[in-house]
């Protein structure tokens, strides 16, 4: 029955059904995989993360769907570093590329600009798509705003400058952003 509701995208109904049989399948990896996905789809990322982490099967834990949902749960639960580490443990493949794109975009949406910038930086080096430069630039500026607001440490300014460098010294946008950051650092007596 849960499978039918899942295919019909009636996820609240899936949760009701899975919840009614949860006690009988507590340690069943396939059950937990489906339950975790359903909880994530309805936006219950904290519980989804907990359920995903209960899974022991290496086959499931290496599945792109599992890795993508777990990374998304980490990001939505404000743990982008764990999503990043999950990506770093993956072998280079189309799967890791997909996870990296998801990390870049989800971190950006969630205002976790450091990991968004890192992901967009790698994506740009792999693909050269100009949208990845725009994402990296936007994430670096967002990270700078968080530093100014006191929500990120001031030491992050060096990271921002490092992340901007791959675009080359002849990029007027990079030069302008770099000048603004260095000026703000000087005004706040920070050594870069």
Average pLDDT over residues 97-120: 97
Listed in sequence order, the DSSP H helices in 42-171 are 45-54, 58-61, 64-76, 80-89, 94-109, 113-127, 130-148, 156-164
Among 81, 7, 1, 59, residue whose Cα is nearest residue 37: 7
What is the average pLDDT across 107-132? 95
4-48: per-residue pLDDT in tens? 666 666 777 777 777 777 877 888 999 899 999 999 999 999 999
The residue among 188, 190, 164, 191 whose CA lies nearest residue 177 is 164
1 pLDDT above the threshold of 60: no
Band of the pLDDT at 165, cuts 50, 70, 90?
confident
3-state secondary structure 82-100: HHHHHHHHCCCCHHHHHHH
Calculate mean pLDDT across residues 74-96. Answer: 95
Output 8 or 150, whichever has higher pLDDT: 150
Q: What is the pTM of this model?
A: 0.89
Looking at residue 168, what is its pLDDT? Answer: 57
């Amino acid at each position: 029955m849960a499978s039918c509701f899942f295919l019909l995208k009636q996820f609240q109904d899936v949760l009701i059904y899975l919840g009614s049989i949860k006690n009988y399948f507590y340690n069943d990896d396939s059950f937990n995989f489906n339950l975790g996905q359903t909880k994530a789809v309805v936006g219950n990322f904290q519980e989804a993360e907990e359920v995903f982490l209960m899974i022991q099967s290496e086959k499931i834990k290496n599945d792109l769907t599992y890795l993508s949902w777990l990374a998304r749960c980490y990001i939505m639960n404000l743990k982008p570093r764990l999503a990043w580490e999950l990506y770093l443990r993956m072998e280079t493949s189309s799967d890791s590329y997909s996870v990296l794109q998801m990390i870049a975009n989800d971190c950006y949406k969630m205002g976790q600009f450091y990991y968004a910038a890192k992901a967009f930086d790698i994506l740009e080096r792999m693909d050269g798509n100009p949208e990845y430069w725009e994402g990296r630039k936007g994430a670096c500026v967002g990270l700078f705003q968080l530093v100014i607001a006191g929500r990120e440490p001031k030491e992050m300014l060096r990271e921002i400058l490092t992340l901007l460098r791959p675009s080359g010294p002849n990029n007027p946008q990079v030069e302008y952003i770099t000048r603004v950051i260095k000026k703000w650092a000087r005004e706040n007596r920070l050594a870069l």
